[in-house]
Amino acid sequence: MLMVIAATMMTAISCGSKKEAPKVLVLYYSQTSNTKAVAEEIATRLGADIEEIVPVMPYDGDFKATIERCVQDREQGGLPEIQPIAADLAKYDIVFVGYPVWFGTYAPPIASLLDQVDLSGKKVVPFCTFGSGGLESSTKDLVEKLPDAEILPGYGVRAARLEAMPQEVDQFLKAGGFLEGEYTQLEDFPEQHEVNEEESALFDAAVDGYPMIHAKATMVATRAIPEGKEYLFTAIDLPREDQPNMPPAGEMKVYVTVADGAAPVFTKVIR
């Protein structure tokens, strides 16, 4: 009987000292389903709750129409009305916030969300999809918008590279401590050096066909990644013959990966 009582007490003590796992919510807005795919991948891997942000008046899927509406809203200082979210945010410790990048930051429905909810004291993890970049700039905007929340490092992926997203999300979640398991910790880039002819050609091939990048690589650094190499280029915008009145945007950082046996592809741009 004494042994049974002792075992019961030890079990109670053990259970009482066990740390409860944080509650995780994935909130996202997606216009073309790209961000939705990332949100569902994160929620599935974490076993997290998930909810979509829905504008009362949805954005047209047409790129030009979306841009025109955003420009009009910005000029008028308005934000789109969104449907109320069902989740009780008070229940969650960690909130993943996902969005497409428009005009260098999170899409307007997310701005509407942030005006309506209280994320004070939460850990907020941004994730996004984009044409060329915007994770860093949108994260900076989140930090300014949510001074009482802890904004953690985020994840971003080009819409053109969604096939690489599941593996990258797995590594991202493990590196951030959200999932257990091994992950590859990359070394820092070494100091950049002037590009040679071969490296310049590699840069040109990586950005070829992407209309928003018209630039020349000047400096580069490389590091090893699983099954390939990654390049960090410094590049400068070139004048556009088709838009002679458009001033160059200046310097940019362009990340390019070359998987073994594959063509070079750029993964993101930081201006």
pLDDT in tens, 139-171: 999 999 999 999 999 999 999 999 999 999 999
At 20-65, the pLDDT tens digits run 889 999 999 999 999 999 999 999 999 999 999 999 999 876 777 8
Question: Is 70 exceeded by the pLDDT of residue 95?
Answer: yes
- In this prediction, residue 245 has a pLDDT band, given cuts at 50, 70 and 90, of low
Q: Report yes or no on whether pTM surpasses 0.85.
A: yes
**Phi/psi of residue 48, each to 5°?**
-95, 160
Asked if pLDDT for residue 13 goes beyond 50, the answer is no
Nearest-angstrom CA–CA distance, 160 and 165: 10
75 vs 161, higher pLDDT: 161
Cβ–Cβ under 8 Å, residues 100 and 129: yes
d(CA 246, CA 173): 40
Helix (H) or strand (E) holding 256: strand 251-259
Cβ contact 128:99 at 8 Å: yes
Distance CA 59, CA 81 (A): 11
pLDDT of res. 14: 46
Q: Any idea which residue has 């013959």 for tokens?
A: 241
